[in-house]
Structure 1
Amino acid sequence: MTKLITGVEIRSCFGESEATFEALVEGRSGVGELRFPDTARLGVNRGYHVDDADSQALLRASDWLSDCVASALAQSGIDVMRARVAVVVGTGLRELGAVERLDEPGTALRTAQLHFNEAVRQVLPDATEVITVCNACSASGHALALACDLLDLDEADAVVAAGCDAMSESMLAMIGRVSDEPTDQLRPFDADRMGVLLGEGAAAVVLERGDRPRIGRGPVLGEVLGVGLSCDAYHETAPQPGGIARAMRDAHERAAVAPDEVDLVVAHGTGTALNDPTESQVLAEVFATAVPGPVVTGIKGSTGHTSGSAALMSLAVALEALAGRHVPAITGLRRPLTEAEPLRLVTGAPAAVPVRVAQVNAFGFGGVNAVCMVGSTS
């Protein structure tokens, strides 16, 4: 069954969707000094923060999520009082930052607030259900897959797939332990990359059934052709090439797309020692017979690694390319690593290439992988 995309909104360190895409095309980086008091103890001093009206709000990720869900639904033009609308939220950390502040005087937090049911129902009180999926860095890719399943099973007329995460001190401390020195900027696929830096944000995408009359009045932005998944459980953090390749091939099979039909790959591209060469090797293998092969970009050099929202943020960029806008270059990439030499990396300046089919990669801890295929309907 066809799944139409009829609304999309993101929130990143640059702001909302249009501001974010403009920054990506201009090659800007949103990296800045961390807004935490003891960065020396964390071992990290830079990150990609969202600018909040209230930067001290307890449930920051929930606030961004509410805004993105409301905006995406408004774009879709769906009458939420008449349609069955479900929401699936992918996250890596949930509201972990709020838990870390429980020792502050006057801080109160209910367990239910760690999930996102209340945040969603602030803007969609009649949602048929709100599901939170905690699947590391590929979480919103898995949310998209589950959203497609709900439509296939006729459990909903429309589903909002979403993702969100805010930085937390414990997550920052973890990445600070794996670098010899603090990373200055996330540099995807660069030979001199120093490691990952965290970003923050949220994203939401509205899916409608394509086998029935439209229930929304908004324009169709594209369609989900298929989502490929794998869980290889190879290692807590190290990627496994076979598991990643299975997810890509599963996505192609579900989408009924051959490698030479893929025009664009929005890569996971975390700027880490292991992800980038592994992802490069698998892309070179999967697209070995495709000539000249897809162009490859990635957004984390500009936005940081936004964890649970990363997959859908990349999908939003793919939708812009499907609409005819330029493909952003990879911010922070100066000297491509050897394993990426076979790839058509977008470097230096945005690429003006026609895109009808795009692939979006998202890989998580423990080999929890999600690869989404999206296509143009025009």
Structure 2
Amino acid sequence: MLTCLGDADDTVAALLTGASGVAPLRFVDTEKLFVGFGYPIDDGDRERSFRASSWLTETVADAVRESGLDVSGKRVAVVVGSGLRELRSLERWHADGAGATLRELHFDAAVRAVLPEATEVLTVSNACSAGGYALALALDLLALDEADAVVVAGCDSMTESMLTMIGRVGDELVTELRPFDRDRGGVLLGEGAAALVLEREPADGRPVLARILGVGLSCDAHHETAPDVAGIVAAMRDAHTRAGVAPEDIDLVLAHGTGTALNDPTEARALTEVFAEAGGGLVTAIKGATGHTSGGAALMSLLVAVEAMRRGRLPAVIGLADPIDEAADLAVLAGESVPIQARIAQVNAFGFGGVNAVTIVEV
């Protein structure tokens, strides 16, 4: 993956030390937008078009190479989750005359630049849970024998229109994203990409880093933007059923944790309801360090969960100092990273319109 903190190794290392990638925004009129900070990727002094596509290309290439997958003669599909696709490039084309073609606004060309053998490239645009939905679709493709392997990816860059929306809903300038904190001020955007290779079982003995046990989905349509406890609980329980696990089997939870007035208490209530009898494992979230990365968020949290379990150390929630009352019965990790012995993790991702995806992963 690529985040404001660097590549996958850099990102995990930074999370474990409590680092944050928050920084002043560039390339936009921050006074006009009333948003001055975010978690941007610093990739030059001038804004390039199709930044999300470039990160996607890099992470897909890295994932395929590191997996050791031999793509020759195999049906390799690619599913990309994105909340905004290449909207920023469209904005620049409209406002600044930067060149863009319709073909470039989809991710087919970006993927085929490094994986020309791909049998198909699908884009899933399911708001902030797009990466989770892409993973669910990939599982279906494998289960239906429509692919031998699936590259699952997610990506997004910041857009002026989304920054404008964020700036309209706050009374004060937000300087950091603080998940589950009583003094949270609201969401700030991050950007980047993540990718992984999913197979039923490597036939050539290549090592398996983790197993996706199931992805639970719900689309509750409760409200355009406000999350709903019942819809989130339904996705969690669907995930547990598909994975064949019970709440007491979950060792840790990577929460959605957006630092907003509604999401954090709603997610905390849902987690409390689902894990009430089981007690539940540790809960953490990464957006306080990476910002809200939209389409890439679910897969970034998934990769962090896998690495945390493999390394035996869990990062704390960056920006959390005084937990909200709704999280009182949850073991939300604040302060410093802690050693863990964990085998199964739950990864939450929720989007506008009640588009919810919950992943269960085992190492």
TM interval, shorter chain, is: over 0.9
1:373 equivalent in structure 2 = 360
Secondary structure of 2:311's partner? coil
1:362 aligns to what SS in structure 2? strand
Residue equivalent to 2:245: 257
In structure 2, do the counterparts of structure 1 residues 310 and 216 end up closer, same or farther at CA, with 3 Å as the change threshold?
farther
Q: 1:234 maps to which residue?
A: 222
Map residues 1-378 of structure 1 onto 2, 5 A cutoff: 10-53=1-44, 55-103=46-94, 107-210=98-201, 214-215=202-203, 218-291=206-279, 293-376=280-363
Secondary structure of the 1:323 match is helix
Runs in 1 of length 4+ with deviation above 4 angstroms? 215-218
* Aligned equivalent of 1:7: none
Q: Retained in 2: the 8 A contact 1:75–1:218?
A: no
CA offsets, 1:53-75, max 9 Å, x none?
Answer: 57522000000000000000111
Q: Quote the offset at 1:215 in angstroms.
A: 4.2
Deviations 1:163-196 (A, max 9, x none): 0000011100001111101111000000000000
Shift of 1:324: 3.2
Q: Which amino acid aligns with 1:222?
A: A
Gapped regions of structure 1 (runs ≥ 5): 1-9
Give the aligned residue type for 2:65: A
Percentage of identical aligned residues: 61
C-alpha contact (below 8 Å) 1:77/1:216 kept by paired residues = no
CA gap of 1:217–1:119, structure 2 versus 1, over 3 A, is farther
Amino acid at match of 2:40: H
The one-letter code matched in structure 1 to 2:332 is L
Unaligned runs of 5+ in 2: none
Q: Which amino acid aligns with 1:294?
A: G
SS at match of 2:313: coil
What is the TM-score normalised by the length of structure 1?
A: 0.94
Are the aligned partners of 1:78 and 1:216 in contact in 2 as well (CA < 8 Å)?
A: no
- Give the whole-Å Cα distance in 1 for the aligned partners of 2:303 and 2:198: 13
Cα deviation 1:180-227 (Å, max 9, x = unaligned): 0111100000000000000001000110113xxx24664211100000
Shift of 1:325: 2.9
User: Residues of 2 paired with 1:134 and 1:105: CA distance?
Assistant: 25
Give yes or no for contact 2:309–2:340 (8 Å, CA) kept in 1.
no
Q: 1:219 to 1:238 in 2, by over 3 A?
A: same
For 2:67, the aligned partner's letter is S
Cα RMSD over matched residues?
A: 1.2
Deviation at 1:80, TM superposition (A): 1.1
Query: 1:166–1:200: 8 Å Cα contact kept in structure 2?
Result: yes
CA distance in 2, matches of 1:368, 1:184: 28
State how many pairs are aligned: 363
Secondary structure (helix, strand or coil) at the match of 1:202 reads strand
Contact 2:28/2:160 (8 A) holds in 1:
no
User: Separation in 1 of the partners of 2:131 and 2:233?
Assistant: 19
CA distance in 2, matches of 1:312, 1:105: 32
